Amino acid sequence: MYTDKNAVKDAYNAAKETYKQFGIDSDSAIRKTMEIPVSIQCWQGDDVTGFEGNVGASSGGILATGDYPGRARNGDELRSDAEFAFSLMPGKKRFNIHSFYAETGGIKVTRDALEPEHFSRWMRWSQEKNIPLDFNPSFFSHPLADSGYTLSSRDPEIRRFWIRHGLSSRRIAGAFGENQNSPAVNNIWIPDGSKDLPADRMSPRLRLKDALDEILDIPQKPNTITDAVESKLFGIGSEAYVVGSHEFYLGYAGEKKIQLCLDMGHFHPTESIVDKISSTLLFVPGLLVHFSRGLRWDSDHVAIYSDDQREVCREIARHNLFNRINIALDYFDASINRIAAWTIGVRSIRKSLLEALLEPSALLTEAEQSGRNHERLALMEEFKTLPFSAVWNKLCLDAEVPVGTDWLKPVREYEEKVLLKR
């Protein structure tokens, strides 16, 4: 199906009138939605493999399953795949990389010795394409992570190695921030934990706290880096105990005044992060949200326009939290075309953001404050069927990206021309 531009415009003009009746300016909602940066995870493009020459599954309890053809095998492939995917997604983008995507020109550089120069190709690309970068130290898929413990390891040498890695990562993120004139988010997630019941739950947490202090107490240039820490409920191999639990990092981020990362897949399957937003923002300066989709567990399925996702975006929009929340994606599916996986996820988030910004939320609060909760519920029901898709199509048209499913054909062509030749 190829969209008729005039039909999109006509439908939009009708929708615009409807929204106007509810006090919403849809033109300005489109403009605002386009400006919200969404940080795209590079690791969807190569199944979290990285460029260190690792083969097979990643360690640390995260796992991309599937073997769809076309995985990016190096920086050039990953960047050109990403550029092509970007052309299918409306709105401001950032690109999120891990330390093991360093390009060291064939020379082995241990992770604790990585420096900004090993990311010079990334930084050049970032400037050329005007795509700011975010960063993550990688505490997994490494022999020194095989024991299941990194920053909280009992072995001082292992712990030191990872502290050095954490320190070098912050220097790299700081260099990104300078290069792009916008702070790079540096997100710390470690896999540390135990498959079975630990005897001592306290000591690893004490060690983690000390190690994080060593990493985070080193100042970086102002406005170059935003530090974040990410908790988890469990992982494969850490079912009984995770050192960096939600409560651990909630306390830590509050004390250190750094961002807390809430990954939508890192809580109990029925536990939403919606309530955590207004609760934690009273105590931490900001949040990093990893949009993901857990199916029965932290399965890292492609993010979709789900009730869960829409609710999170509504919560952000209702309180205008855009300057306190960094939006990022975190999933990896190797069983489908990876460019489509990126595109579906990023478009779904942009869609949820637009819908959230189109919500006549002032009417909801007014009903609530006047005690007319039946009206609040009736309005919520009504808003679900406002002509949102007409506005979304217009946004895509304005952004000069394919409307509707028109992006599927270019993906098929790219697959034939590029991906299947790998």
- Burial of residue 237, with CB atoms counted within 10 A of its CB: 0-12 exposed, 13-18 middle, 19 or more buried: middle
**In terms of DSSP bridges, do strands 225-230 and 193-194 run parallel, antiparallel, or are they unpaired?**
unpaired
Backbone angles phi, psi at 415, to 5 degrees: -60, -45
C-alpha distances in angstroms, 300 versus 112, 245, 296? 28, 18, 10
* Orientation of helix 408-417 relative to helix 338-357, angle to 10°: 160
From the list ligand RNT, Zn ion, none, partner contacted by residue 357 (C-beta under 5 to 8 A by kind): none
Per DSSP, what are the bridge partners of residue 93? 38
From the list Zn ion, ligand RNT, none, partner contacted by residue 43 (C-beta under 5 to 8 A by kind): ligand RNT
Q: Which of 230, 315, 333, 359 binds ligand RNT (CB under 6 A)?
A: 230
Binding positions for ligand RNT, 27-56, rule CB under 6 A: 43, 48
Give the residue closest to ligand RNT by C-beta: 189
Binding positions for ligand RNT, 345-364, rule CB under 6 A: none
* Residue span binding Zn ion (CB under 5 A) among the ranges 118-126, 290-298, 315-323, 402-410: 290-298
From the list Zn ion, ligand RNT, none, partner contacted by residue 89 (C-beta under 5 to 8 A by kind): none
Q: Where are the beta strands (DSSP E) in 115-201?
A: 133-136, 184-188, 193-194
Q: And the tokens for 208? A: 């983690």
* Closest separation in Å from C-beta 250 to ligand RNT: 16
- Cβ atoms of residues 135 and 173 within 8 Å: yes
Binding positions for Zn ion, 258-277, rule CB under 5 A: 263
CB contact burial 78-105 (16+ within 10 A = b; e otherwise): bbebbebbbebbbbbbbbbbbbbbbbee
Give the separation between CA 100 and CA 239, rounded to whole angstroms. Answer: 26
DSSP alpha helix (H) spans, 217-337: 246-256, 274-280, 307-318
Q: Is the dihedral of CA 63, 66, 72, 78 positive or negative?
A: negative
Binding positions for ligand RNT, 183-202, rule CB under 6 A: 189
Q: How many residues bind ligand RNT (CB under 6 A)?
A: 10
- Does 231 help bind ligand RNT (rule: CB under 6 A)? no
* Closest separation in Å from C-beta 189 to ligand RNT: 4
Give the separation between CA 187 and CA 253, rounded to whole angstroms. Answer: 12
Annotated catalytic sites, by residue? 189, 230, 232, 263, 266, 290, 298, 300, 330
Query: Between 50 and 177, whose beta carbon lies closer to ligand RNT?
Result: 50
* Closest separation in Å from C-beta 241 to ligand RNT: 15
- Does 178 help bind Zn ion (rule: CB under 5 A)? no
- Does 112 help bind Zn ion (rule: CB under 5 A)? no
- Burial of residue 301, with CB atoms counted within 10 A of its CB: 0-12 exposed, 13-18 middle, 19 or more buried: middle
* Closest separation in Å from C-beta 12 to ligand RNT: 37
Q: Which of 178, 300, 330, 415 binds Zn ion (CB under 5 A)?
A: 330
- Does 59 help bind ligand RNT (rule: CB under 6 A)? no
Closest CA to 422 of 50, 34, 77: 77
- Does 242 help bind ligand RNT (rule: CB under 6 A)? no
- Does 290 help bind Zn ion (rule: CB under 5 A)? yes
> Per-residue x/- marks for Zn ion, 220-259, CB under 5 A?
----------------------------------------
- Does 263 help bind ligand RNT (rule: CB under 6 A)? yes
Binding positions for ligand RNT, 278-337, rule CB under 6 A: 290, 330
- Does 300 help bind Zn ion (rule: CB under 5 A)? no
Q: List for the chain the helix, strand, coil content (%; round to 5).
A: 45, 10, 40
The 10 Å Cβ neighbour count of residue 9 is 13
> Per-residue x/- marks for Zn ion, 374-413, CB under 5 A?
----------------------------------------
Query: Between 127 and 299, whose beta carbon lies closer to ligand RNT?
Result: 299
Which amino acid appears at position 287 of this protein?
L
Binding positions for ligand RNT, 86-145, rule CB under 6 A: 136
Query: Between 178 and 300, whose beta carbon lies closer to ligand RNT?
Result: 300
Q: Cα torsion at 264, 265, 267, 272 (round to 10°)?
A: 40
Binding site for Zn ion (CB under 5 A): 263, 290, 330
* Chain positions contacting ligand RNT, by CB under 6 A: 43, 48, 62, 136, 189, 230, 232, 263, 290, 330
